[in-house]
């Protein structure tokens, strides 16, 4: 398999679908939003974008299965699986905020080997393939060189349906506010991750995430020289729902702050 060529093909596809999403956003009617659950929104745009992605990805790699947010295709492959979030940042999109993206990853067993994130409003294509480095619009990218948390801008996401750990999370966020140059919440985990990869953020942490939120961005961070773990260990950060991504230099500081307030996050 030529991973570089496959990555380029997926990048072209993600851009095409991203431009469809952007065009639909210009006339989108909020009344067309559906709710999958409390604060868990979906629109016809998400579903149509996913169908477009699935149709062409099947042509790229017919033997691969799919792990999709909207469930338009649920057949799993034995070796390869595409992991798709057709519109990461749906709440932003439905409210007219320009912070959303298309996220597509290819996993071989439990390893991500291709990752693509396309942000249509800035026309930014982030992509990586295993062992090939990470890129933004064709230029090699690398994580920030900031050496300490006090020099860092940190991203996170807020819980929007499971509030059982909210007080702990607020304590964690309070510590980051005091010990870093700032805390940001964009509303798209895929964007948070690629912004770590390109050095706009030094770190990112969040819980209650799904594999389609993080799979593509994880590889892009790693290929850009960054580090990805769970809150307290090196375990499965794609399917277990919690993640820390950083430039590597501030990773331990991030984990230490989380461990000080987060149930079960003991090193």
* Number of neighbouring beta carbons within 10 Å of residue 217: 34
pLDDT value at position 27? 82
**Total count of domains within the chain:** 2
Mean pLDDT of the chain: 91
Q: What are the residues whose beta carbons fall under 8 Å from the beta carbon of 219, sequence distance 6 or more?
A: 105, 112, 113, 114, 115, 128, 129, 130, 134
Conformational region of residue 83, where left means phi above 0, alpha means psi within -120 to 50, and beta covers everything else: beta
pLDDT value at position 39? 40
122 and 20 share one domain: yes
117 and 175 share one domain: no
Q: Is residue 267 part of a domain?
A: no
Report the helix count and the strand count for the chain, using DSSP H and E.
7, 14
80 and 185 share one domain: no
Q: Where residue 26 sits, what CATH number does that domain have?
A: 3.30.540.10
Interval 143-154: pLDDT, tens: 999 999 999 999
Q: Which of 116, 140, 164 is the last residue of a domain?
A: 140
Integer CA distances (angstroms), 156 to 18, 68, 167, in order: 24, 23, 15
Q: Is residue 57 part of a domain?
A: yes
Contact between 82 and 64 under an 8 Å Cβ cutoff? The reply is: yes
Tell me the residue range of the domain where 35 lies.
Answer: 3-140
Q: Is the pTM of this model over 0.75?
A: yes
8 and 97 share one domain: yes
Interval 26-85: pLDDT, tens: 887 666 666 555 444 457 888 899 999 999 999 999 999 999 988 888 899 999 999 999
pLDDT value at position 191? 98
**Chain mean position to CA 32:** 25
Mean pLDDT of 151-172: 84
| Nearest partner of 91 among 55, 136, 46, 134, judged by Cα | 46
Mean pLDDT of 103-121: 98
């Amino acid at each position: 398999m030529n991973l570089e060529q496959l990555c380029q093909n997926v990048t072209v596809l993600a851009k095409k679908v991203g431009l469809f999403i952007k065009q639909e956003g210009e006339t989108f009617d909020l009344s067309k939003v559906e709710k999958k659950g409390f604060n868990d929104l979906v629109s016809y745009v998400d579903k149509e974008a996913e169908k477009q992605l699935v149709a062409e990805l099947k042509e790229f790699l017919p033997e691969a299965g799919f792990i999709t947010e909207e469930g338009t295709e649920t057949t799993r492959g034995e070796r390869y699986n595409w992991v798709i979030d057709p519109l990461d940042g749906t709440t932003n999109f439905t409210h007219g905020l320009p912070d959303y993206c298309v996220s597509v990853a290819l996993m071989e067993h439990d390893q991500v080997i291709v990752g693509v994130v396309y942000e249509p409003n800035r026309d930014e294509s982030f992509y990586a393939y295993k062992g090939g480095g990470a890129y933004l619009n064709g230029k090699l990218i690398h994580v920030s060189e900031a050496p300490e948390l006090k020099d860092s801008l940190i991203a996170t996401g807020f819980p929007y349906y499971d509030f059982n750990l909210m007080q702990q999370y607020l304590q964690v966020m309070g510590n980051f506010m005091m010990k870093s140059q700032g805390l940001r919440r964009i509303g798209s985990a895929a964007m948070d991750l690629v912004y770590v990869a390109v050095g706009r953020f030094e770190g990112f942490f969040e819980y209650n995430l799904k594999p389609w939120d993080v799979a593509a961005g994880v590889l892009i961070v790693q290929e850009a020289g960054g580090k990805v773990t769970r809150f307290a260990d090196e375990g499965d950060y794609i399917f277990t729902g919690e993640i820390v991504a950083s430039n590597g230099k501030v990773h331990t500081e991030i984990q230490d702050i989380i461990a000080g307030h987060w149930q079960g996050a003991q090193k």
